[in-house]
Structure formats: structure tokens, C-alpha cells
Amino acid sequence: MKNKLKYIIILSVSAALLSCGNSSLEIYVSQNGNDNANGKLSSPIASLHRAAELARAKAGKIPVTIYLSGGYFRLTEPLKLGITDGGTADIPVQWEAMPGEKPIVSGGISVSNWMPEENGLWSATLPEDFHGKFRSLYINNKRAIRARFPDNDFLKVSKAGKDNRTNFFFEKNQIPKIYNIKDLELVFIHDWSITRIGVKSINWKNNHLIAQDSIGGRLPFFTITNWDQHPRYYLENAQEFCDSPGEWYCDFKKRKIYYHPLSSEKINETEGIIPIATKLITITGNQERQVGFISFKGITFEHTAWQIPDHGYCGIQACMYDDRSKNKSGWSKVPAAIELDLAKNCRFYNCTIKHTGGSGIWIRENCQNCEISESHIYDISGNGINIGEGRDRLVNGVPWWQTAPEQVSENNKISHSLIENCGIQFYGAIGIWGGLISNTVIDHNEIRNLPYTGISVGWMWNPNPTPCGENTINANHIHHIMNKLSDGGGIYCLGLQPNSLITNNLIHDVTINAGRAESNGMFLDEGITDLLVENNIVYNIARSPLRFHKAFQNTVRNNVFACGDNIPPIRYNRTKEEDIKKIDNIVLSQSSKSDMEKLNSIVDKRIIEFDMVKSNRIP
């Protein structure tokens, strides 16, 4: 009798488990669907917003999977997901590409009615329902060049004006005559950031340019000549500058786009995309309850817009900027196409984020256990990936990290992803930026082709304790960075972040030093203490592979530093050399053939050992 009862119980439990396993919701979305349909495979719906509505009824009760077919899903407003859209570990909510399909979530609208102009340009009329402005244009899935002068180089300031802030003089005949300067933009280069600001006037007789507001942030050292007596700049967004293949200009008054086609492009086969949505996805919980267990797999996100403030974009660092139009003391932030706040256990796997007007993706306030993996982030105007936040947010009138340190974003992970070609508009951008974060892992990523720093962690210019600490930057391949700015590196860390690790990274090709301060393989800045730098390989760096500045006790162990002639492997700026514990590091000479052969062997072993991408070999 006991055995029979046991058998009945087992059967009942098995049936219940089988029933639970089959209790799930699948929603199918197709660009050819209908939002009045039921979302079954045979009758898919058409929009992401409708899919979210259908999923919301069951989210948190049974597993939900939203399948997207191939093709474009256009958004003019972001898909906003909140606490009623999430799940749990056992009953998650998943947004996925159907097997073999490539869905694209786009915040842009199409332009295809191109007509030839007498001067060799093409023109197109803005869509009737578009009434704003835009800073980016994409032609045949590539970012076109906003008309600029000079095309591929920089001009240099001849002499700063009297206030060293708002105006400067240029060499005679250096700037061509421009019929209408109303929309002209000055792009001014500082050491580690840029200013984008409107031009108030140009006097060609006196060779004098006046900006609409102050050039540079409100910090006292952001003067025109602080870093260089003859700093670099260029001009953008004049019709006269649209003179080279791939450039574009829009006359918003006439509502016409002008494009200088490439020789390979055909007018009846060319599609333009104007980005209009500022964001594509937001995932937002609240202080009482985080939103969680939402994942995206195999989806491409592209085409977002962001307009700089009326008084200009005055970059401070890492896409934080001074916004004078708001008249506030804190720094504003360039938004991202995808943003998460008060979220947990959310994941982006095998996704692509590209063609953005701001940053790519931001795991921001009070987020835990979120992950980006095996993804591709590229052609980004700002930072590629942001994690955590800076120090400005207030809780009860006091900075959050002082009154509510438990709100730190922690246990998040960025891994096995390719981040490249970021900072397209805002050169001070970072491939992966982490603010005041804890227990974060940045692991096995390739980061390349950036105007500034590869990975940056920390956001405090002193050794004051914050929740930042126990972060790991491991086995990343970082190369061909610092291509336009200076005073950064492959890896940059700032502020006190105890028990953090920089290990097993391969960093190379930091070869341009355009500003006053040098660029390095690794730059460990003010307040860095109790940090382990171990088993990294750094080579082909214009200056020192490793630099400290106002740092304290740290350990540098078992690294390989290849140096140019008369370049020290480690530079100490206002750091006591005896505070840096150095153990068993190998220093090689880049002018020695035998040392370079040894380096090649070490690099090959590292690439195999850590499954890194083998590219851009040593000459």
C-alpha cells in the first residue's frame, strides 16, 4: 500500500511539473503583422509596444517569450518597460530573434526620394511628418559625414582673444567665406574632451571668430590656451563644406538634405535614415521594487538622435558635460539608446547596438547582476557602454554615495563583446565607462579604434571612500585607442576603489600624443590605492606603458612592458615611487630585435590562453 501511495505521489508531482513546464506564453511579432491579431505564430502582431502589452498580462506569472521576425521595427518613442514587465529567475521575460532571423529595432525614418543637383550633389526633401532637426544621417547603412572643414584634418588657433574663453584669431585665408553662419558649429579640441558650440560671428577682415558662449566647461582650467597655445579645431555644418564624397548638409529652412555621393552609389538605390528617437529601450524599476529578469537576445538596436543644448556641448570627461542652458552646478550626461535604472538580472546577449546620436547602452542607477555579453557595439556618438553613475545624484539633498551607498550598481558584467568606433561626435568618449561601481567584471572584450580611452572605472578626484571597489578588469584586448585626444589610456582608473584588479589584459597601439599630457597603456589617476596590476602585456605605446598620478600604495606584478627608447616603463606623476610595489615585471626594448621576438611569443601565448582576437600584429 505504501509503495502504491508513493507511486501515485510521484506521478502527481511529475504531472504538476510537466504542466508548469508547458505553462508559458509565446508572442510573435512581425513587420508584416497586425496589432489586432492575437500574437500567435500564425497571426503575429506588428509592434513592440503591443507585444509588451500582451506580455504584461502574464509577466511574473508564467515564462514569457516575445519572438521577433527579421526586418525593421520602427520606434519614434522608446519602449518603456517597468516593474510589471519583468519576471523572476524561474519565470523570466525574454525578447528574442526567431531562429535564423535578424530583427532590427530602429529609431529612424527613411529618406529615398533623391534628385540630382547641378553641382553633382543629390538632394531629398524632408518627410512631411518630420519637423525637427538632426545631427546624423545614415546612407545605405553607413554614417555619412556632416559637412566639415577641413575634411580630414584640424585647423589651429593663431591667438586666443582677450578673455581666453569666447573668441580667437585665425591665420589669414585659413577659413573660407561662408554665406550663412547661423547653423555653423565650432568643434574645439581640449586635451581629453571637446567643445561643440555655435558660432556667433566671423570677421574675415580681422581673422576673428566669436563663439556663441564660452568654449570649454566652467572649470577654471578650461581656457582656450590652457593645454596648448595653438589648440586644434575644425568647423562643421555649412553648405559650402559639402564638397567631398560622403558629406551631407541639411537646409532646415528649405527642408532639403544635400548629399555628396560616393562614386559607387546609385541614386535610385540609395536610402537615407534620419534618426528621431532619443532612446529605444528603457527598463526602470523604483526604490521599493526593482524590475528584473528581462533579457534581449539576437536583436540589433540602431538609429537614435540627440541634440546638443542651445548653448553648446562643453565636454568635461567621458561624455559628462557642462549644460549652461539649465543653469545648474552639476554635470549633465549624454543619454544612451538603451538605459536601465533600478534593474536586476537583465541581460543583453548576442545583440548589436550601432548608429547612435548619444551613447550605446547604460546600466545606470542601482542595478545589480545585469550583463552584456557576446555583443557588438559600434558607430556610437558617445560612450559605448556605461555602468553605474557619477557622484551628482542627490538623496535627501546629499550626494547618494554618502547617504545611500547601498544604491551602488554592483555585480554587473560586460564580457566577450566587441566595442569599437565610439566617440564619433563626442571625442572624449570611452569604450566602457564605469562610475562609482562595485564588484563589476569587465572581462574578455575587444575594444578598439577609439578617439580616447578604452576602459575607465571610477569617478572621484581624491582618495575619499565611496562604494566603488572590488572591480575586475580582466583579459581584455585593447588597441588603437587615443586616436584624437590625450591624457588617457587603454585602461584609466580614478579615485579610491580598494581590492580592485587589472589583470591579464593585452594593450597596444597608443601612438598619438596630441595634447600637453601624455597617453599611456594604463593611466591610474588621483586617489588610486590598493589596486593590483598583474600579468598585463603593454606594447607599442608612444609614452610610458603605465602611469600613476597622485596615487598611493599599489602593486604592479608580473607584467610585460615594451618601451621605446628613453621611455620609462612606469611614470610617477606626484606619486611616491616607493609606494608602488613592483614585483617580477619584464621590461623589453622596442628597438631590440631579440626583445621583439620574445614579445611576439608572449603575445601569441596570451591570445591563445585567453581566447583573444589575433589582430594588428607587431610590425
Q: What percentage of residues in the chain have a pLDDT greater than 90?
A: 89
Residues 334-361: what's their mean pLDDT? 98
Half-sphere exposure of 278 (CA within 13 A, CB side): 10
Dist CA 266 CA 269 (whole Å): 5
For the stretch 156-212, pLDDT in tens is: 999 999 999 999 999 999 999 999 899 999 999 999 999 999 999 999 999 999 999
> What integer pLDDT is reported at residue 324 of this predicted model?
84
The helix or strand, by DSSP H or E, that contains position 524, with its residue range, turns out to be strand 520-524
- Band of pLDDT at residue 612, cut at 50, 70 and 90: low
CB atoms closer than 10 angstroms to residue 548:
28
Q: For residue range 32-81, list pLDDT tens digits in order.
A: 999 999 999 999 999 999 999 999 999 999 999 999 999 999 999 999 99
pLDDT tens across 444-478, in order? 999 999 999 999 999 999 899 999 999 999 999 99
Please give the mean pLDDT across all residues of the chain.
Answer: 93
In this prediction, residue 18 carries a pLDDT of 35
What is the rounded CA–CA span in Å between residue 277 and residue 602?
A: 47
pLDDT in tens, 504-516: 999 999 988 787 8
- Residue range 99-115: mean pLDDT, rounded: 96
Q: Are 345 and 322 in contact (CB under 8 A)?
A: no
From residue 67, alpha-carbon distances to 44, 96, 199, 214, 374 in Å are 10, 5, 48, 50, 19
Closest CA to 174 of 157, 198, 197: 157
Tell me the per-residue pLDDT of 548-567, one tens digit each, with 9 for 90 and over. 999 999 999 999 999 999 99
Strand, helix or coil for residue 3: helix
Q: At 20, is the pLDDT very low, low, confident or very high (cuts 50, 70, 90)?
A: very low
Q: What is the pLDDT of residue 619?
A: 36
Tell me, what's the pLDDT at 613?
A: 56
Instruction: For 112-151, write each residue's pLDDT tens digit.
Output: 899 999 899 999 999 998 989 999 999 999 999 999 999 9
* E strands in 54-176: 64-68, 71-74, 79-81, 93-97, 103-106, 108-111, 115-116, 122-125, 138-139, 142-143, 145-146, 148-149, 155-156, 159-160, 167-169
Determine the average pLDDT of the residues in 277-300. 97
Q: What integer pLDDT is reported at residue 326 of this predicted model?
A: 65
- The neighbouring-strand residues paired with 203 are 208
Q: What's the one-letter identity of residue 265? A: E
For residues 427-438, average pLDDT: 98
pLDDT at 325: 75
What is the model's pTM? Answer: 0.94
Mean pLDDT of 270-294: 96
Q: What mean pLDDT comes out for the span 404-419?
A: 97
pLDDT mean over 532-539: 98
User: Is residue 618 within 8 Å of residue 603, measured between CB atoms?
Assistant: yes
pLDDT, average across residues 225-247? 96
pLDDT for the residue numbered 4: 39
d(CA 99, CA 89): 23
